[in-house]
Structure 1
């Protein structure tokens, strides 16, 4: 289930040998995949917590900022749920996938097609110039500037909906749509690209979702503004922080397992991560790249296994 390998000449390791074999002998019970019913349950669970926070806002208005931040963490978690679904084998969205997209994708301004486009390319080319999420080397102050630039990522995705709708109807807009909103770095002409067309064709549902939110805002301005819009903006900042925390600016030369250890980082492993910056164990990012089809719920134990077997090679987590 690992997609990244070192040359086959690597010898079988001992616990501290400093080498990782062609395919690490991970116990099968640590490699459980996500399931669609399980992801739907996770999405519903996040909505239960969001609903409880809404009740808290109504009953204790003085704590509204705290509840808004907690809702932002659960919106972030919904994006993580959809992220796990991207790694499931699917080609066409049936009713269950569409329900998951409604629960976990549209509230954070993405469709399954759009996330799959840039996220799977990131896994394929992690750390390379073609990686959509590649981080250039920079000073800490420069990284702050990068974070501020990435902070509006979710509002920017809202704009992707109408632009993608136009790109579906106007072929000449498909290449700029892919470059700007799908983070395509191929440099190719994409007017007739079937995957880009599929992403554009999926956008109307996102447009309708946010039009419904806008239509509800005049009638329930406080509920929509404090209960969704403010947490949405906060969640955007949390997502931006995570994207910078889980990838390093160190250069890589290929797609080997050692390259993955170079350009990825674990982060948010404490209570703050569980609530806000790395919900549902998404902060176990190194092993996620080593085994991208493994369910996020299995990642902590899988990380512990790698730490025990390869303590000198597994990179230390990024500190807050």
Structure 2
């Protein structure tokens, strides 16, 4: 598959209009992170107070959604869009998002930057790793796709994804592929976590409100986003048709597409733009006739995306 480069595009965008969009705001990133953690904590506390099967299912959905949201913030930090001090950008991201999700920013960055550099080619590690997985083979019927999503609620599919995830994003590797083990700070984090859970006697709640959502809805939302971004009968014949942007409604932004992650095409064009400026970037790019004509923009996850997974003729541009 041909590798496309953003430099090949001839978009007529005023550079002065673009410049403010690259400015980062540490407080906006920090507030978003604090919001995600507060939702996780309050969802667990409310469920414990009014525990029943329905409240627990809702808590698992909401907590998994905010875990996914934390992963999106980690993704921004991978591009150094959190703190200007790169050492603290990585350190705080690891302790507040990555280590709780059982990986590290160093390992993720190694994979993710290669994904950007070799989008949808045999040198793209994300693309190659997913091509042979059954759930990423399209076209699918709508019922097949929905059944795949629901299979995550059994924890079986999530457990499979977790094994696959740990193999790719667990311990760091050197350039030759040799495992380097886990960073000392990561081991320290897990030692402190195990100690705190044991001393406080909170293992039951950790399993109920972290491990279960992690093995179910967290990976479920990751799967939906991965499909939306790079799969489901995209044309792949141009940089503007090699990834999809999804304009989400308020409910989808809350559950499926937090922190403007739906604007994925815009992110691939300009990865230096932080998440909170992506809607402005999209509006600016839509002023360009070539972008407006060719860009693959889908309206909604529950409506537009489902329409595109089985029949490429239904793809919205």
Q: Which runs of 5 or more residues in structure 1 are unaligned? A: 7-19, 169-173, 176-187
Aligned residues: 272
State the distance in 1 between where 2:147 and 2:124 align: 20
State the distance in 2 between where 1:117 and 1:144 align: 32
- How far apart are 1:112 and its partner, in Å? 1.0
**Cα displacement string for residues 115-173 of structure 1 (whole angstroms, at most 9, x for unaligned residues):** 10111111111111111121546331697899879844445445668x73xxx8xxxxx
Equivalence map 1:1-320=2 (5 Å) = 4-6=6-8, 21=10, 24-25=13-14, 27-28=17-18, 31-62=21-52, 63-88=55-80, 94-95=87-88, 97-134=90-127, 136=131, 138-140=138-140, 151=158, 152-154=160-162, 156-158=164-166, 164=171, 174=173, 189-191=176-178, 200=181, 202=183, 204-210=184-190, 213=193, 216=197, 219-233=201-215, 234-248=217-231, 250=234, 252=236, 258-259=238-239, 261-267=240-246, 269-310=248-289, 311-317=292-298, 319-320=305-306
- Structure number with the higher helix fraction is 2
8 Å Cα contact 1:105-1:112 kept in structure 2: yes
**Cα displacement string for residues 72-108 of structure 1 (whole angstroms, at most 9, x for unaligned residues):** 1111010000100111189985345312221111122
- How far apart are 1:33 and its partner, in Å? 3.5
Deviates more, 1:23-32 or 1:78-87: 23-32
Structure 1's 293 and 220: CA in aligned 2 closer, same or farther, altered over 3 A?
Answer: same
Secondary structure of 1:140's partner? Answer: coil
Secondary structure of 2:244's partner? Answer: coil
State the distance in 1 between where 2:192 and 2:162 align: 17
Q: Identify which of structures 1 and 2 has the higher relative contact order when contacts are C-alpha pairs closer than 8 Å and 6+ apart.
A: 1
8 Å Cα contact 2:78-2:109 kept in structure 1: yes
- How far apart are 1:46 and its partner, in Å? 1.1
CA RMSD, aligned part only? 3.5
8 Å Cα contact 2:266-2:278 kept in structure 1: yes
- How far apart are 1:189 and its partner, in Å? 3.6
Q: Which runs of 5 or more residues in structure 2 are unaligned? A: 132-136, 299-303, 307-317
TM-score by length of structure 1 reads 0.71
